[in-house]
Amino acid sequence: MLDIALIRQKPDWIKEQIEKLGDEAALARIDAIVELDRQRRAIRTRIETEQAARNKLNRAMGVLRGSKTMTDGEKAMRAQTASAAIGVRDYDRASAILEASEAVGGAVPADAAAFEELIRELRIMGDQINDGFKQAETIESELRDNMLWIPNLPHESVPVAASEDDNVAGAIQGALREFDFDPKPHWELGPALGIIDFERGVKISGSRYYVLKDWGARLQRALISFFLDTARANSYREVYTPYIVHREMLYGSAQFPKFEDTVYGLAEEDKFLLPTAEVAITNLHRDEILEEAELPLSYVAHSPCFRSEKASAGRDVRGIKRVHQFEKVEMFKFTRPESSYDELETMTEQAEAICAQLKVPYRRLEIVTGDLGFSATKKYDIEIWSPGCEEWLEVSSCSNTEAFQARRAMLRYYPSDSRKSRYLHTLNGSGLATPRVMIALMENYQQADGSIEIPDVLRPYLGGAAVIPMT
RNA sequence: GGAGAGGUGGCCGAGUGGUUUAAGGCGAUGGUCUUGAAAACCAUUGUACGGUUCUCCGUACCGCAGGUUCGAAUCCUGUCCUCUCCGCCA
């Protein structure tokens, strides 16, 4: 979520930023937000003043009614005079009459029904205030609904361009391998080696599901361990989180409301399967206020990721590039606002270093405004070349969201020199995602006979084996 | 899944309809005292939003959501969570 005060102060500047993202629908909401915010503040100011008067009158009435020093006649006389004052909305005078320490003179005769009259006036007042609160609630929920659909704004360093085709590719790291045979795609290598079983995956769960067997299952487990150990060596704390989370957590990490149809929900509870561990980690410190001395807080978690992929029906249907269930190791940082961009560089370099250790050709993509997505202010993708399917595969995406998620999930910290809390910045990056890394390894390390060499760094995780053999 | 008990500030804990505008204690922070520290004493104490503009003021928040009432931490309903026991279970 953006800072409402910023929208209030610089609506035109906000619109310019959103224009760079190409989000026309969000652009159209800004004027409505400015107006709703104005209405909200006007109505709140009014009802809070009325509420203050009402609270004071109610307290004063309680004290008056309980007074043991005052005669019933005096009480009734005060109640009656105060009722009249409330009737003409002179609340200050009404409470002054009820609270006065010395006897209040007046020509109004005491009346047995005086308290009834006072209660009646207070009830009318209360009804008016309640109507006001209901109006405010309607406006506030409409305002919030609009705010939730506004994307994060791009950082000034992000290249302005319309689409993913304009993303700025960095130099290729590592040499593309020269084959003396035709490299095969993984969807041929996998079944031939008996390590990917597409038919049985489909039998059990349908299209875009698969079964890993023997060396395939072990290779995935090795990769997960390798990724986690690497992150741990980089001072990330390893965490294991629930894979099923409350609806509110998806709002906190900004998947909802915009991407609700990409996530799997449970039928019997209003809970959802993680599309990424980022959702769980973002909300780890929800509603907390951390101390600056603890920052940055870095976490790493492995989790399965469940995605419905409705938006890409018919695309990438072959192989395991785009599936409903995959494994990912996610790096995440909670930082001070001042250091989030430095941390983004560090995190991206760490993701690249994993590719380098696996000795596969990779490159970094600087994402342009039109492809930034909903919550990032700046983003880098890491892609690995896969010679079999002949394409660059995105294996990591590292983003800074600044305070966008922090505002939604109430992630704050106290600066060391102040007791006034500030929002944290959050960063996330894959480190890495397994099916695509497995594709890259199979296709880059394949031998002429169909067997696959195992990269050096993974051998300790596979009992020292050097090759996945043809059987 | 069944039965019972319970959810109050950073923590403990009092509070069964109106000076509770949440007591008291612990902790934390600042101060006094001290060569320094401890102890003692004094003061301060959360979050969000709005108004004001550098100082305050107001509103809301006692798990959450409704309801009753002129007025709710307190009464009613629903719901979530925690604990204890029983059942089931990797």
Q: How far, in Å, is the CA of A414 from the C1' of nucleotide B32?
A: 29
- CB-strand contact A59/B, under 7 Å: yes
Q: How far, in Å, is the CA of A126 from the C1' of nucleotide B73?
A: 21
Q: How far, in Å, is the CA of A6 from the C1' of nucleotide B57?
A: 25
- CB-strand contact A122/B, under 7 Å: yes
**Where is average pLDDT lowest: A8-12, A96-100, A285-289?**
A96-100
Nucleotides of B under 7 A from a protein CB: 18-19, 21, 46-51, 58-60, 69-71
Percent of chain A that is helix, strand, coil (3-state, to 5): 50, 20, 35
- CB-strand contact A411/B, under 7 Å: no
What ipTM was predicted for this assembly?
0.85
Burial string for A29-49 (b: 16+ CB within 10 Å, else e) reads: bbeebeebbebbeebbeebee
How far apart, in whole angstroms, are the C-alpha atoms of residue A257 and residue A246?
14
Indicate the burial class of A394 (C-beta count within 10 angstroms; 0-12, 13-18, 19 or more).
Answer: middle
Evaluate if residue A163 carries a pLDDT over 60: yes
- CB-strand contact A61/B, under 7 Å: yes
- Please give the C-alpha separations between residue A205 and each of A200, A209, A306, A309, A323, in angstroms, as whole numbers: 8, 6, 13, 15, 11
Evaluate if residue A147 carries a pLDDT over 90: yes
For the record, the structure tokens of A150 come out as 């506004």
Evaluate if residue A293 carries a pLDDT over 90: no
- Concatenated DSSP letters of A443-462: HHSB-TTS-EEPPGGGGGGG
pLDDT the model gives residue A106:
56
- CB-strand contact A66/B, under 7 Å: yes
Distance of CA A309 to the CA centre of its chain: 19
Q: How far, in Å, is the CA of A9 from the C1' of nucleotide B27?
A: 41
Which residue gives the smallest C-alpha to C1' distance to B19? A63
Nearest Cα neighbor of A367 from A340, A393, A399 is: A399
Q: How far, in Å, is the CA of A126 from the C1' of nucleotide B67?
A: 16
How far apart, in whole angstroms, are the C-alpha atoms of residue A394 and residue A381?
7
**Where is average pLDDT lowest: A7-11, A131-135, A162-166, A176-180?**
A131-135
How far apart, in whole angstroms, are the C-alpha atoms of residue A326 and residue A369?
28
Nearest Cα neighbor of A153 from A325, A376, A326, A336 is: A376
Higher-scoring residue by pLDDT: A118, A387:
A387
Q: What is the DSSP letter of A463?
A: T
User: What are A305-320's pLDDT values in tens digits?
Assistant: 999 988 777 777 788 9
- Concatenated DSSP letters of A386-417: ETTTTEEEEEEEEEE-TTHHHHHHTEEEE-TT
User: What are A201-223's pLDDT values in tens digits?
Assistant: 999 999 899 999 999 999 999 99
How far apart, in whole angstroms, are the C-alpha atoms of residue A461 and residue A219?
8
A19 DSSP β-pair partners: none
